[in-house]
């Protein structure tokens, strides 16, 4: 099926005879695979008698060979999967047999994509980036302070570099355009949190998605294609993401988040806004002052500055902010 998709990804018409010849199968076998593409991957096809078949929307499939051959970017090994439950889960499964670190996992789609606080991350085939990087950490959990914020800075530099200049950060793990979510970050830990461990840096970036089933995504969202009006090359995006991640992770691990604090605050969309912070109980309302040296959010609550951190915290703008 993937070989057939590579023939069709240009969005042009291809006859059943030509597709069969290229794949070494019969026209009836091609037809069965085309039906499977529509049913299993929800990829709509356009059929015209005498011209053949084409994808309604062209695809730019991920290419592990191209990614692994790039020079001038970190030589992290790419593992590209047609479909996984989640790239974070697949990265953790691959970790015990990994020959070198860091390495990263990409997928054309996720069947059980995960966001923060147990939320589902909608992951249609061939449209977005579902990316997980595995990094070895020595020295315990303190090395991880502010890491998700450093990753957010790297991701922001990528999307702005491709033209989404209005994008900004939302504490702790989101990239937004206005009030619409463009990307999210999920870090997961494996190993001894007091000594040597591995962190899986999961990134979901809406690249070429233009529509989703009503009610599936529970918040306003956007994509790079929706903002720019052009189809983007996801392989080039991955190369830039690796380059920026390498730089920001190096700074964070060598110097700590303190070296990135001012830069992060300058790109935080909710600086000075009135927000409600919740963690399962009554929300705490306050004005966003910024973040501290560990990456915790600083709020002015009833005239007093307070800091909050934790993976289960949720930050929302107050309705009248």
115 annotated to a ligand binding site: yes
86 annotated to a ligand binding site: yes
Q: Is the peptide bond before 172 cis (omega within 30 degrees of 0)?
A: yes
Parallel/antiparallel/unpaired status of strands 45-48 and 52-55: antiparallel
Active site (annotated) includes residue 157: no
Active site (annotated) includes residue 119: no
170 annotated to a ligand binding site: no
**C-alpha count within 13 angstroms, C-beta hemisphere, residue 272:** 3
As a whole number of angstroms, the distance between CA 207 and CA 222 comes to 9
Task: Tell me which of 6, 12, 117, 316 is the catalytic residue.
Answer: 316
As a whole number of angstroms, the distance between CA 300 and CA 286 comes to 5
Residue 301 β-bridge partners:
304
Q: Which residues are CB-contacts of 77 (< 8 A; sequence separation ≥ 6)? A: 68, 99, 100, 103, 104
83 annotated to a ligand binding site: no
Strand order in the sheet with 274-278: 304-308, 297-301, 284-291, 274-278, 314-317
Nearest to 16 by CA among 43, 56, 51: 51
As a whole number of angstroms, the distance between CA 249 and CA 251 comes to 5
Task: Tell me which of 116, 157, 225, 298 is the catalytic residue.
Answer: 116
Task: Tell me which of 109, 170, 181, 234 is the catalytic residue.
Answer: 181
Active site (annotated) includes residue 316: yes
114 annotated to a ligand binding site: yes
As a whole number of angstroms, the distance between CA 23 and CA 66 comes to 22
181 annotated to a ligand binding site: yes
142 annotated to a ligand binding site: no
42 annotated to a ligand binding site: no
Tell me which H or E stretch contains 85.
Answer: none
Binding residues: 86-88, 110, 114-116, 181
Binding residues for biotin: 86-88, 110, 114-116, 181
User: Which residues are tagged catalytic?
Assistant: 116, 181, 316
């Amino acid at each position: 099926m993937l070989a057939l998709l590579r023939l069709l990804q240009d969005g042009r018409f291809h006859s059943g005879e030509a597709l069969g010849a290229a794949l070494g199968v019969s026209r009836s076998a091609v037809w069965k695979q085309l039906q499977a593409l529509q049913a299993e991957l929800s990829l709509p096809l356009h059929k015209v008698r005498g011209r053949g078949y084409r994808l309604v929307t062209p695809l730019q499939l991920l290419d592990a060979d191209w990614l692994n051959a790039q020079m001038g970017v970190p030589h992290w090994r790419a593992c590209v999967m047609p479909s996984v439950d989640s790239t974070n889960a697949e990265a953790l499964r691959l970790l015990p047999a990994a020959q070198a670190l860091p390495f990263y996992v990409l997928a054309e789609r996720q069947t059980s994509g995960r966001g923060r606080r147990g939320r589902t991350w909608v992951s249609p085939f061939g449209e977005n980036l579902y990316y997980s990087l595995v990094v070895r950490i020595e020295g315990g959990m303190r090395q991880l302070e502010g890491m998700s914020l450093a990753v957010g800075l790297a991701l922001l530099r990528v999307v702005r570099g491709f033209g989404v200049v209005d994008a900004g950060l939302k504490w702790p793990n989101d990239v937004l355009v206005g009030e619409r979510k463009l990307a999210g970050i999920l870090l997961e830990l494996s190993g001894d949190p007091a000594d040597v461990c591995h962190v899986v840096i999961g990134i979901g970036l809406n690249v070429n998605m233009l529509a989703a089933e009503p009610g599936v995504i529970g918040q306003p969202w956007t994509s790079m294609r929706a903002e720019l009006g052009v189809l983007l090359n996801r392989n080039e995006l991955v190369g830039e993401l690796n380059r920026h991640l390498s730089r920001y992770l190096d700074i964070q691990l060598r110097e700590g988040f303190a070296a990135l604090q001012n830069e992060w605050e300058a790109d935080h969309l909710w600086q000075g806004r009135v927000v409600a912070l919740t963690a399962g109980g009554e929300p705490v309302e306050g004005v966003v002052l910024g973040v501290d040296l560990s990456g915790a959010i600083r709020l002015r609550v009833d005239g007093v500055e307070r800091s909050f951190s934790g993976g289960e915290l949720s930050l929302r703008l107050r309705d009248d902010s």
